[in-house]
Amino acid sequence: MTRPSADQLASANWFKSTHSAANNECVEVAMAGAWVCVRDSTDPHGPMLSFTASAFASFVEDVQRNNIASGIGA
């Protein structure tokens, strides 16, 4: 499967979680074709990660179940 095309990214509808902090230091997510894309909201033209929808869904499920170590303070 190829990564999202430039056209898909240009027309993507990026959004932030309703749980985002007021200081805008969060990530934005968008669907681009079959991909879920994630970027830093403070750098919308910077690097972006892309995941298959199933991989991203698995990640979200693990986070919701608290199965992901935060790595903070490690």
Rounded Cα–Cα distance for residues 33 and 17 (Å) = 20
Rounded Cα–Cα distance for residues 61 and 74 (Å) = 23
In a domain, 57, yes or no: yes
In a domain, 38, yes or no: yes
Rounded Cα–Cα distance for residues 46 and 73 (Å) = 26
**This prediction's pTM:** 0.74
> Do residues 4 and 37 touch, judged by C-beta distance below 8 A?
yes
Which residue range(s) make up the domain with 43?
25-67
What pLDDT score was predicted for residue 65? 83
Tally of structural domains, the chain: 1
> Do residues 14 and 28 touch, judged by C-beta distance below 8 A?
yes
Question: Is the pLDDT confidence value at 73 over 50?
Answer: no
What pLDDT score was predicted for residue 38? 92
Q: What is the mean pLDDT of residues 10-38?
A: 83
Question: Is the pLDDT confidence value at 71 over 60?
Answer: no
In a domain, 45, yes or no: yes
In a domain, 63, yes or no: yes
In a domain, 33, yes or no: yes
